[in-house]
Amino acid sequence: MKHLIYADNAATTKLDIDAFEAMKEFLLDFYGNPSQLYSFSRKTKKAVKEAREIIAGCIGAEPDEIFFTSGGTESDNWALKGFAKKQGRKQIVVSPIEHHAVLNTVQALKRDGYKISFLDVTENGVILPAFLESKINNDTAIVSVMLANNEVGSIEPIKELAKIAHQNGAAFHTDAVQAVGHIEINVNELGIDMLSASSHKFNGPRGIGFLYVKKGTDLYPFMDGGAQEKNMRAGTENVAGIVGMAVALRKNCSILNDRKRYLYELEERLVKGLREKGLDFIRNGAEEHLPGVMSISFKNSDGEMLLHRLDLMGVCISTGSACDSKNTQVSHVIKAIRIPEEYAKGTIRISLSKDNTKEDVDCIVSSLCRALKP
**92-121: which residues touch ligand PLP (CB under 6 A)?**
99, 101
CA-CA distance, 162 to 174, in Å (whole number)?
9
In angstroms, the Cα distances linking 252 to 18, 199, 258, 275 are 11, 11, 10, 32
In the list 140, 144, 178, 252, the residue contacting ligand PLP (rule: CB under 6 A) is 178
Is residue 150 close enough to count as binding ligand PLP by CB under 6 A?
yes
Say how many Å lie between the first and final Cα of the chain, rounded.
29
Among 34, 71, 153, 204, binds ligand PLP (CB under 6 A): 71
Q: How many CB atoms lie within 10 A of CB 273?
A: 17
From the list 278, 333, 20, the residue with the least C-alpha distance to 150 is 333
Positions of E strands within 125-215: 140-144, 171-175, 194-198, 209-213
Is residue 175 close enough to count as binding ligand PLP by CB under 6 A?
A: yes
- Cα(355)–Cα(247) distance, integer angstroms: 18
Residue 253 catalytic?
no
Number of residues that bind ligand PLP (CB under 6 A): 16
Nearest distance in Å: CB 131, ligand PLP? 19
Rule CB under 6 A: say whether 211 interacts with ligand PLP.
Answer: no
Would you give the binding string for ligand PLP spanning residues 320-349, x where CB under 6 A is met? -xxx--------------------------
Distance, in Å, from the CA atom of 27 to the CA atom of 335, rounded to the nearest integer, reads 44
Distance separating alpha carbons of residues 35 and 206, to the nearest angstrom: 23
Nearer to ligand PLP, 16 or 175 (CB): 175
In whole angstroms, how close is the CB of 317 to ligand PLP at the nearest point?
15
Q: Which is nearer to ligand PLP, 73 or 238 (CB)?
A: 73
User: Is there a contact between 19 and 203 (Cβ–Cβ < 8 Å)?
Assistant: yes
Q: Which residues bind ligand PLP (CB under 6 A)?
A: 71-73, 76, 99, 101, 146, 150, 175, 177-178, 198, 209, 321-323
Residues known to be catalytic: 323
